[in-house]
């Protein structure tokens, strides 16, 4: 039987939960601590943050205050564009780890390719060092398109294990997903329910939800999982965090999956990775 403890196996053998909590735009302090605590109490084991989010300290406090063994948790953070480069990435990693209060990290990502900066190969070299030295259990990228990964692999000795990208029914990233699948990379969806896009107001999602006794958000999260995607919905509300995790007790039919697939508009909510260079 499926459950919130279900995992994907990365190409290095590390297992990563299929579902986690994202904390983008969650305020440091009480707000993020409450969200992370609510998630862990609800059974979540993956928490996704980033240096840019400026809430690593609160995430770390919530982890430290919880009784769940550290080994059961999967913690992700990311190096920001202005810290890209070999030594600056190593320094940024130390800062993040001090804020998180952790002895090791489960997944470290390059937040954006930032192509005009021309530093992601050097940044990746630092991630490879952190990985081979045992400071990080897995390394990956975020917002990388296939051509960015191709360029990275001209100098890399280890392929990314995860690629975290904007992905929801309005923007399904089929090309990136196919590329990741072909190269053994797990695709992880950020903004999975298209917050602010009006996606959850789509009548087709309400109708599908009624068929299973589920909310539109639960239907969309389940759609990600059935496409083999990892997913990190964000919420600061305990009830919504719990609701977002109750997606393992139903299966969307192929006909309903096709209807959701048909919502594709090709429009991003976030910026184009080729144009993020700050």
Point out the residues that are catalytic.
Answer: 53
Strands (E), the chain: 7-9, 15-17, 21-22, 46-48, 74-79, 105-110, 136-142, 162-166, 186-190, 230-231
CA Rg, the chain, in Å? 18
Sign for the CA dihedral angle at 36, 40, 42, 43 comes to positive
Q: How far apart are alpha carbons 252 and 274 in whole angstroms?
A: 34
Q: How far apart are alpha carbons 102 and 60 in whole angstroms?
A: 7
Query: Quick count: other Cβ atoms within 10 Å of Cβ 57?
Result: 18
Q: How does DSSP classify residue 145? A: -
Contact 21, 233 (CB under 8 A): yes
Contact 20, 45 (CB under 8 A): yes
Which residues have a Cβ under 8 Å from the Cβ of 90 and sit 6 or more positions away?
A: 126, 129, 130
């Amino acid at each position: 039987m499926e459950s919130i403890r279900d995992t994907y196996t990365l190409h290095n053998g590390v297992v990563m939960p299929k579902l986690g909590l994202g904390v983008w735009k969650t305020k440091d302090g009480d707000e993020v601590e409450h969200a992370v605590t609510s998630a862990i109490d609800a059974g979540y084991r993956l928490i996704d943050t980033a240096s840019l989010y400026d809430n690593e300290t609160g995430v770390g406090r919530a982890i430290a205050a919880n009784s769940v063994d550290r080994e059961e948790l999967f913690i992700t953070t990311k190096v920001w564009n202005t810290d890209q480069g070999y030594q600056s990435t190593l320094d940024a990693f130390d800062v993040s780890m001090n804020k998180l209060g952790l002895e090791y990290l489960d997944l470290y990502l390059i937040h954006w390719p930032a192509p005009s900066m021309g530093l992601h190969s050097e940044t990746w070299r630092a991630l490879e060092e952190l990985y081979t030295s045992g400071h990080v259990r897995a390394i990956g990228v975020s917002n990388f398109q296939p051509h960015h990964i191709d360029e990275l692999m001209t100098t890399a000795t280890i392929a990314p294990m995860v690629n975290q990208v904007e992905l929801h029914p309005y923007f399904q990233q089929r090309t990136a997903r196919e590329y990741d699948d072909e190269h053994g990379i797990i695709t992880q969806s950020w903004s999975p329910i298209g917050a602010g896009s009006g996606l959850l107001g789509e009548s087709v999602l309400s109708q599908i939800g009624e068929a299973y006794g589920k909310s539109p958000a639960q239907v969309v999260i389940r759609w990600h999982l059935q496409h083999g995607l990892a997913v990190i919905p964000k919420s600061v509300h305990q009830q919504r965090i719990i609701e977002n995790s109750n997606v393992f007790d139903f299966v969307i039919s192929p006909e309903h999956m096709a209807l959701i697939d048909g919502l594709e508009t090709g429009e991003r909510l976030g910026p184009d990775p080729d144009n993020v260079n700050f």
